[in-house]
Amino acid sequence: MYLGDKISFEKNIYQSIEHGSEKNNFPVTYTSLAFYYCDTPPTGFLQPSNQLSSVYVPDTLVMYPQLMNFTVWNNITCKASWAYNTGGQSFTFSATDESRLKILLDEIPDGVYKLYADITNNEKGCSFSLWQGQTQVAGWQDTRGQGKAERLPLQYLGNIAIRDFYRSLTVQFKTTPTANEFLLSRLIFVWEKN
C-alpha cells in the first residue's frame, strides 16, 4: 500500500494485493478506493452520482467454513484441510450427540434464501440436521459412506428467512463412537425474495 506516496504513471497503473499462503488461493473479498489527481480535468468522464456508487449484492452468496463466525457447544473438534477444489477450505467437525454447531449469519442480507451445502460422505460420517431457532430446516441426513471419502452433489437443505432475530443456523448431530464426523466444504445461499 502506498498511503503517503504518489506513484508516477503515463497511461495506466496496476495495483494488486497478495493474499493466501500460496497462489492467492484463500477466498476473500476486498474493496478499495483510489484517488487520481491530474493537472487538468479529464474529458469524457462521468460525474459521480448515486447510481455510479451503488453496491452490487449478488443473488448467490457462498460461505466457506474458514470465513464463518461460529460457536460450538459440548465438545466439538475441528480440522481444516484443502480437501476439494471449492474455492475454500473444508472443515471436518468431530462431535457427539450433545454437540451443537451454531453458524452466525450476520453478514448475509435480510431475505428468503434456498440453502445448499457442499458436504462429503466418509466412513466416519455422522448424521446431522439443521435448525433455525426452533424450526427444523433440514431433516436428518446421513453422511456415513463406505471406504474412501466421497464428495456428494450439492445438497438442497431447505429455505430459510434471514431477518432481525433469525441470523443463525444450528447443526445438530447423531453420532456413534465410530461415526462422529461432519465434513463441510461450503454453504450456498440463493436469494429468493425479501
Residue 186: the pLDDT is 93
Domains and CATH numbers, the chain: 60-193 (2.60.120.260)
45 CA to centre of own chain? 36
More confident residue, 4 or 8: 8
Nearest Cα to 65, choosing from 84, 48, 49, 39?
Answer: 84
Residue 148: the pLDDT is 82
Instruction: Give the CB-side neighbour count of residue 93, counting CA atoms within 13 A.
Output: 30
Query: Helices marked H in the chain — which ranges?
Result: none
22-31, 105-114, 126-135, 156-165: the lowest-pLDDT one: 22-31
Nearest 5°: CA angle at 87, between 182 and 123?
25
Per-residue confidence band for 49, with pLDDT thresholds at 50, 70 and 90? confident
